[in-house]
C-alpha cells in the first residue's frame, strides 16, 4: 500500500463516479475512459503487464470508441429533455450501497482465511504466451469463435434494413 495505489484508486473511482453521474453522455464516456485507464494502471501496479496493456488496447482503443460511436448514432450527444435518472433512483442507490456493504463485509471477514504472498510473481511474457497456446488453447479458440460470432452478430443487428422494411 503506497501513495501510488491511493492515487490510482482515487482516479479510478472518481472516473467511475463521474461516468454514472455526468449529465452529458459524451462526458460520461470520456469519464469512463479515465476509469478504464486507471484500472489498467492498477493492473500494471499488480505486475500484470500483459493484461494492463491489453486493457488499454481493448478498452481505450476499442470499447470507448464503440461507445462514443453508439452515442452519436443514437443522438445521445444532445442533452435529454427530462432528467437523466429514472424514477426509482433512491431505492436503487440503497440497493447498490447494500451490495457494497455485503461485498466489503465479505472481504474484511474472509481475508484472513486466504494465504498471501507479497513477493512479486516471476512471470515473463513467454510464460503468458505458452499458457495461452498451451494449457489454455481451447478457451482461446472458443474466445476466437465467440468474437467472430459477436462481430457478425453486431453487424447484422446494427445493419440498416434496406428496402425490405418499406
Pick from 4, 7, 78, 103: which binds other proteins (CB under 8 A)?
103
Shortest distance in whole angstroms from residue 137 CB to other proteins: 11
Shortest distance in whole angstroms from residue 9 CB to other proteins: 5
Number of chain positions touching other proteins (CB under 8 A): 112
Residue 78, Cβ neighbours under 10 Å: how many?
10
Binding-site string for other proteins from residue 63 to residue 102, where x marks contact by CB under 8 A and - marks none: xxxxxxxxxxxxxxx--x-xxxxxxxx-xxx-xxxxxx-x
Residues 8-37 touching other proteins, rule: CB under 8 A, are 9, 12-13, 16-17, 19-20, 25-30, 32-33, 35-36
Beta-carbon contacts of residue 38 (< 8 Å; ≥ 6 apart): 8, 9, 11, 12, 15
Pick from 7, 78, 106, 141: which binds other proteins (CB under 8 A)?
106
Q: Is 158 an interacting residue with respect to other proteins (CB under 8 A)?
A: yes
Residue 157 C-alpha cell reads as 443487428
Measured from the CB atom, the residue of 111 and 166 that comes closer to other proteins is 111
Pick from 4, 79, 146, 164: which binds other proteins (CB under 8 A)?
146
DSSP run (H or E) holding 34: helix 25-45
CA nearest to 33, candidates 6, 71, 89: 71
Query: What string of H, E and C letters represents the secondary structure of 118-138?
Result: CCCCCCCHHHHHHHHHCCCHH
Residues 118-137 touching other proteins, rule: CB under 8 A, are 118, 120-128, 131-132, 136
Q: Say how far apart CA 38 and CA 32 lie, in whole Å.
A: 10
Residue pair 91/75 in contact by the 8 Å Cβ criterion = no
Amino acid at each position: 500500500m503506497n501513495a501510488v495505489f491511493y492515487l490510482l484508486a482515487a482516479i479510478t473511482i472518481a472516473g467511475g463516479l463521474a461516468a454514472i453521474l455526468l449529465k452529458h453522455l459524451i462526458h460520461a464516456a470520456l469519464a469512463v475512459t479515465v476509469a478504464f485507464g486507471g484500472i489498467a494502471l492498477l493492473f500494471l501496479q499488480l505486475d500484470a503487464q500483459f493484461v494492463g496493456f491489453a486493457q488499454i488496447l481493448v478498452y481505450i482503443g476499442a470499447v470507448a470508441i464503440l461507445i462514443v460511436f453508439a452515442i452519436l448514432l443514437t443522438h445521445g450527444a444532445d442533452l435529454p429533455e427530462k432528467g437523466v435518472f429514472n424514477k426509482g433512483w433512491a431505492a436503487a442507490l440503497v440497493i447498490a450501497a447494500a451490495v457494497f456493504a455485503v461485498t466489503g463485509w465479505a472481504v474484511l471477514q474472509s481475508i484472513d482465511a486466504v494465504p498471501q504472498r507479497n513477493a512479486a510473481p516471476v512471470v515473463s511474457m513467454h510464460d503468458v504466451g505458452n499458457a495461452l497456446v498451451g494449457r489454455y488453447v481451447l478457451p482461446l479458440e472458443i474466445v476466437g469463435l465467440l468474437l467472430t460470432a459477436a462481430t457478425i452478430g453486431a453487424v447484422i443487428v446494427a445493419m440498416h434494413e434496406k428496402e425490405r422494411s418499406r
